[in-house]
Amino acid sequence: MKKSILLTFVLAAGFVATFLTGCGTDSGPTCNSITGRDTGIHIVYLDELNPGITPIRDTLDATISGDVVTIQSKALGKALVGKISSSNCNLINLDSFFIGSGPADTLRITTTSTALTLQQNDGVIRIWNVRAGGTGTITSTGATTKLSIAKGNTNITSLGGVLQDLSGRKLNLRGSFLKLP
């Protein structure tokens, strides 16, 4: 399955778009509910700069058990796990997410971006050795996410090579998802 560079980071973003039901009280905030599938995109940022990488389309399916949320990202092909914040029922704190360093763990994302130069020059972004975490916010119409990448490696050689080693680069993936009717 082909994936885009942001797909790796999409995971974390994906968790945010979850199914929340009945989490509010009369005296607290209104807890938004996502009772189905969410669809949207992840956009890659270097700190606050958008380097122009093609957004990653994703579909998220979530389940909830108590305050634990499990989000399945179609683009990533993996499940992400997080917890509903005890102080804000519309906030999900995502657990750390890892992608291994072996060939079977490498994410492969097809891209048509002309802003990127790849080592293999075959139109496939490869991502491995990732550690990330983030948050998601549930809205009345869907969810927004932010996944921060603490470390990882890619085969992207453009942009001064800053995306080959992602450690300390403040790479983050920001997602915007809408509920499907």
Average pLDDT for residues 53-68, to the nearest whole number? Answer: 86
Higher pLDDT: 88 or 79? It is 88
- Output the pTM of the full model: 0.73
CA-based torsion, 15, 18, 22, 28: positive or negative: positive
pLDDT tens sequence across 90-132: 999 999 888 888 777 787 777 777 777 888 778 888 888 989 9
The pLDDT of residue 27 is 58
* Residue 23 predicted with pLDDT over 80: no
How far apart, in whole angstroms, are the C-alpha atoms of residue 140 and residue 151?
33
Tell me what pLDDT residue 5 has. 33
Q: From CA 41, how far away is CA 77, in angstroms rounded?
A: 15
